[in-house]
Structure 1
Amino acid sequence: MKKIKIGLVGAGFVSHIHMDAYNQVIGIPIEVLGVFSRTKEKAECFAKQYGIVRVYDDYQQMLNDKDIDIVDICAPNIHHRQLCIDAAKAGKHIVCEKPLTGAFGEGFKGNVDQTGHIPKLHMYKEAMDNANAILAEAKRNNVKICYAEDFIYAPPVAKAKRLLKQSEGAILEIRSEESHSGSHAAYSRHWNLAGGGSLLRLGSHPLGLVIHLKHFEGNLRQGKPIHVKSVVADVGNLTRTETFKNLSARWIVDEWKDVEDWATVIITFEDGTKALVKSNDTTLGGVVNTLDVYTTNCVIKCNMASNDSVKAYAPANEIFGNEYISEKIETKAGWTFPSPDEDWMRGYPQEMQDFAEAVYYDREPISNGELGRQVVQVIYAAYLSAEQGRRIDLEELDASINDSKGSKKINI
């Protein structure tokens, strides 16, 4: 049994989650052989913590390593396109954190904090060019794209899919959300680095989930996926309102430069059914990860974040010290609900199990590059909808720009 060997790009927050998930893969021989980070000292510290053998001086050195089978990309969004393409050219399978890619204002010559004001039609074209380029290079070099959308693998979602299969009911509406009180990652404040705000950064999760569920239903009922037909969306900056600025803002992140902190998307699928997706950086009380499915004969509600299997009370925030409670909770004082295994509930170990099996047994992963591409498409169509104040039909949009070359030079 040949061991699958992984090269990890990045040594930040999500890299730790991926490492813990890889350590739980069973039945498939795998090893995270090496790591590369922009800061070598950080990579060395990461490698020491996890017993990783190799620390690379640069990304190309990782790609030149013939022992590496998979490159796992845990880098900021702006780097995904080039890292994925370079990995594919090197014949390495790809694990890429969400979103697969985005639009970052290529060719924009103005102030970087004005990137988010570029016309959204240009952003849509750029994002789709980037996504299509990744998929084309992967196909050309016969490598797999494992799109790291953990929600698809979350145990509550897996149970929901089994219930849907047994019920044989038709999905009428899906509602899903990821929200919290704001990212602490510095790059997330800037469109030219993140590719968008809460809609892209948080909305990727629920959007990927609802798209996947309609694919799942379509394959069950008619042997082919049900795709998104159109979107209507709105975005906003609630932390810039006078109401917010006139009151204490110490609990909610308000350092956004040119990205939104609130978004809502209504999706219409080919079969006329609907989905409502919400994502914002203005929700206190911990992260919200929910899924509600309404069908012709049942209702299924999933919560991938909250749990009450452990309850704890402390009269002061400092009593529990450094012990982790749950993501984005603002205080450890009062009654809290410590998560026994938050990563497991959100599907990270199950995700990496599928990816390892996909490469080992030479099959498609459940969450693949095409899902990542469709998520990018819906998100940037949603940005266009919010800008223009109208419904955007995806087929009509693509037909209208199919022959357009687009301009790389942008001015505001």
Structure 2
Amino acid sequence: MAKTLSVGIIGAGGIARDAHLPNYLKYGDKVEIVAVCDVVKQKAEQLATDFNIPHVFSNYEEMFQEIELDAVSICTPNKFHYSSTIGALKAGCHVLCEKPPAMTAKEAEEMAAAAEKAGKILTYGFHFRHSPQVEVLKRFIDGGELGGIYAARVIAMRRRGIPGWGVFTNKELQGGGPLIDIGVHMLDTALYLMDYPEPDTVFGVTYQKLGTKKGVGLMGSWDWENFSVEDMARGMITFKNGASILLESAFAANIEKADEMNVTLMGDKGGADVFPLKIYQEKHDSLIDISPTYLPKQNYHELELKRFVEACLEGTAPISTPEQGVYLQRIINGLYESALKGEAIKISNSILV
């Protein structure tokens, strides 16, 4: 194993600047940021100047030809996750790809196959898994405190939280709106805590009611005239083990709270809300609520990057796997297909996956 991890960054946007690079740099001699690549070369050059990165490229294929790298962070719009990841794996790099895995499940499947063929790590940027709430609850679940989890609710809702920057409202580049952007985080959190059951059937609906109108923006002004994604998605997912999830996700909805990101789990021995963490049980002929206290304060992205670096250098397994990425992508694309067709979709029969 290499003593120093040589890392390249593909995509010079906000997630690279605010999450990946600052946290890679916390590991000193263990990590060396060697190169940054972006199709807009000026953005890559600015990032390289700000973080003292020696090599700049506008084409990742050229980067892989000229620079020997051990690992890559994929920080591009969703449309380019697949091609960048495949290119990195073929170049012999470990890959941390931002969420969602891809635009389609077929792409996610090919990414997983490429990682296996290359013998390299492929993991995804589901940073909520690294929160103290999720880590504590996972220990309770593994200890049998909730029993068999058979139902969950997933909430990723904003009152007027359409991003006023980036390409989040561009369907061609992102594949969708709040479902694939913020809903995917809470959906992954629920699936992770449920031990990623195999999906069976999905039913979804999407709405575009507020995003195409000029209005108040709590996350900046958005381009409402070119808004091409849903502003709300709702759905139900059933699994082959009999469990189910109800999901709601919105960039903009007429609700009270500015935003809410949460997962609720229900098992036959207990239930839980994750954010904030509260566990519900019946013991000694009493209904009790448990609220763990003094949870450690930790930066989710920092722990995500730390675990990726350790996995690359020490050969430990990442907690987000390519196979889980495939299941998740099948669900996301199945929900979009269901909304398009107006009927429930059997995941195995979906044309979009």
Identity level (%): 27
C-alpha change, 1:299 and 1:158, in structure 2 (3 Å) is same
Q: Which runs of 5+ in 2 are unaligned?
A: 278-296
| Aligned counterpart, 2:59 | 58
Aligned length, in residue pairs: 323
Residues 1:249 and 2:215 are matched in the alignment:
yes
> Per-residue CA shift, 1:286-312, capped at 9, x if unaligned?
44321222222223222279xxxxxxx
Residue 369 of structure 1 and its aligned partner are, at CA, apart by 1.7
Residue 39 of structure 1 and its aligned partner are, at CA, apart by 2.6
> Per-residue CA shift, 1:236-286, capped at 9, x if unaligned?
112169xxx5xx722264445332110012111222122122211115754
Residue 178 of structure 1 and its aligned partner are, at CA, apart by 2.2
CA distance in 1, matches of 2:93, 2:342: 42
Query: Which of 243, 255, 272 pairs up with 1:273?
Result: 243
Residue 54 of structure 1 and its aligned partner are, at CA, apart by 2.5
For residues 9-408 of structure 1, what are the structure 2 equivalents within 5 Å?
9-16=10-17, 17-25=19-27, 29-102=30-103, 127-166=104-143, 167=145, 169-180=147-158, 181-215=161-195, 226-239=197-210, 249-251=215-217, 253=222, 254-255=224-225, 257-283=227-253, 286-303=258-275, 344=298, 347-395=300-348, 397=349
TM-score (norm 1): 0.71
Residue 77 of structure 1 and its aligned partner are, at CA, apart by 1.1
CA distance in 2, matches of 1:226, 1:57: 40
Helix, strand or coil at the partner of 1:258: coil
CA distance in 1, matches of 2:247, 2:226: 21
CA distance in 2, matches of 1:144, 1:376: 18
Q: Which runs of 5+ in 1 are unaligned?
A: 103-126, 216-224, 306-342, 407-412
> Per-residue CA shift, 1:78-108, capped at 9, x if unaligned?
1111111111111111111111111xxxxxx
Conserved? CA contact 2:178–2:233, under 8 Å: yes
CA distance in 2, matches of 1:255, 1:353: 41
CA distance in 1, matches of 2:250, 2:16: 23
CA distance in 2, matches of 1:143, 1:65: 20
C-alpha change, 1:287 and 1:18, in structure 2 (3 Å) is farther
C-alpha change, 1:162 and 1:256, in structure 2 (3 Å) is farther
**CA RMSD, Structure 1 to Structure 2 (Å):** 2.7
